[in-house]
A and B are shown apart, each in its own frame.
Chain A
């Protein structure tokens, strides 16, 4: 199609792909600020390395495909930032580089690039790093500790509360600490209050639909309230499960990625709910900690199935009106 020929309509909504992606980037920036407060300037180094690697990989893929690279397509930046947010602050830089390379070169470009990928590239990159370097990926540091730029022996690694939850233990971190993120965890996914504020921004800008994270959180809350360890009230259990690890971050940023989610409202609600159930299943039965990310990957593969189901269901819920008569003038005489 010749892009110089203009077709109707000639006015367009001011929102474009660039604004959708830049809304996501804006919603990730406050997390950087908070983690800078907790861990020092190393988080910017990790973020910079990740974003740069993603951008270079994407540019290289456009060269290989003989396509013009669109610098306004900010999706590699979003991928890089999401990978940053889910790695520990003291992670070795090569882990981040490999995660970003895998995300773009294996999970995105071979499927067709932006808009055609089946799996969320950030989730795929993180899963790759987790499987290859699980020790590096789960070695967290205590908060309020300024990390050196190059990790040396002075840094003490601790386990996050999700490790305790995995073995059926109870993490006795108070609610305030959980909400503010003042406990060992990944760079950006522990600051629940800030993520919630960013969620409100994203919903207001319609980058994220409100019912999608809600259905996910509902499923997680339901299961965590039912299957809680002995000695924990249901609300405490819900708070622990929701706020302790990467789950809330995944619910807002990874689950709502427009490319990989289903397109209809009913199918999105079902998708979010199933993703929540699968996350809790992985939490209870899998050895790895980043269970939400793996659950998202599995659900990405099933997303078109939800759409097909919805297409089958919707005509049965809403019998469609008869098509207009051949002259297109329907009811009134005009």
Chain B
């Protein structure tokens, strides 16, 4: 960005995160099935993988196979059906994993390349889209595997940007782009060729407590505790997280918490010392880190002192909850959580007024 732009905005447009995707990314994903997967009945797809597949056929197969897109938890069939509302000219396979440790979308892409590309081609042909591409995060360094520039003729676009990148990159693409997760495409291929229902999801198990971080193909509904037993824990974790390190949920009961279709990772961390809570020192790092140019320092003050009107004026509604402010805060304040709570309170205050 130009000097004037840098000076005039408070923000550095996000933060650089240490990706730490190895060794999970380079190892092929390992199966971890339970009886539900092994005994699931296959169905007759009703269409051949050799010829072109129409849109209705694809929707039908996706619905029968109950394929869920891991990006947002929506049914793939619904997404393809809604595309009739407008012209789609680009179809994108999402293999961006811009959060640290997570590689559960790149892994099926790299180890089942032809299948994912084939499914992508089917979707593109069914929707009569001109272009297809695969989106991969650019800022991953020290990988053992080289990410190729194109896979089976489909270009691999390295999307760059500081974290949070995925949200902002996809907003920049036009309304005529359809984005599907690469794992959903793999499930679609299996549904069309073998009539398999989706009973599994791809999960990265990583963190400094895990003996050997890896990607697993896990039956949906497997308890977290079983998965951790499978991978092996070095020591008792302090945090057990389902989801990503920046956005995930703390798991308090691993025996009874199950993996869902849109679970991307399970992380187990051990921290040696709990940092005591410091006061805000007003360093301004949160302002520089916020990708939207908001002022988390002031928003935090407004929310904790219940000045919600001022918070709305400062733009609390625009917060996307990326948690970069919390990450970078040297005083370890829970900025993102507080601001998200404040945003929710502002929204619930406004609704009665609108009626």
Contact = CB atoms under 8 A, between A and B. Distances in A.
Interface stretch (B49-57, B210-218, B222-230, B243-251): B243-251
Interface of B, secondary structure class, is: loop
B282 A334 contact: no
Contact of A266 (B8, B293, B331, B332): B8
B293 A320 contact: yes
A20 B15 CA distance: 18
Interface of A: 1, 3, 5-13, 15-20, 68, 70, 72-73, 75, 113-116, 206, 258-261, 263-266, 269, 311, 314, 317-318, 320, 323-324, 328-334
B91 to A, nearest CB: 10
Interface of B: 5-10, 15, 17, 71-72, 79, 82-83, 86, 88, 92, 94, 100, 170-179, 239, 241, 243, 245-250, 267, 269, 274-285, 287, 293, 295, 297, 315, 317-318, 320, 323, 326-332, 334, 336-337
Interface of A, secondary structure class, is: loop
A6 B248 CA distance: 11
Contact of A20 (B179, B281, B320): B281
Nearest to A4: B274
Contacts of B274: 3
Nearest to B82: A333
B85 to A, nearest CB: 9
A333 B249 contact: no
Contact of B326 (A9, A260, A317): A9
A318 B336 contact: no
Contact of B170 (A13, A18, A331): A331
A17 B278 contact: yes
B295 A17 contact: no
Contact of B334 (A1, A113, A318): A1
A317 B5 CA distance: 9
B173 A332 contact: yes
A17 B331 contact: yes
A75 B86 CA distance: 59
Nearest to B327: A9
Contacts of B173: 331-332
Which of B71, B82, B241: most chain A Cβ within 10 A?
A: B241
Contacts of B171: 324, 329-332
A333 B179 CA distance: 7
A133 to B, nearest CB: 31
A8 B281 contact: no
A334 B318 contact: no
B276 A9 contact: no
Which 5 residue pairs spanning A and B have beta carbons closest together? A330-B171, A115-B279, A332-B173, A7-B337, A263-B284
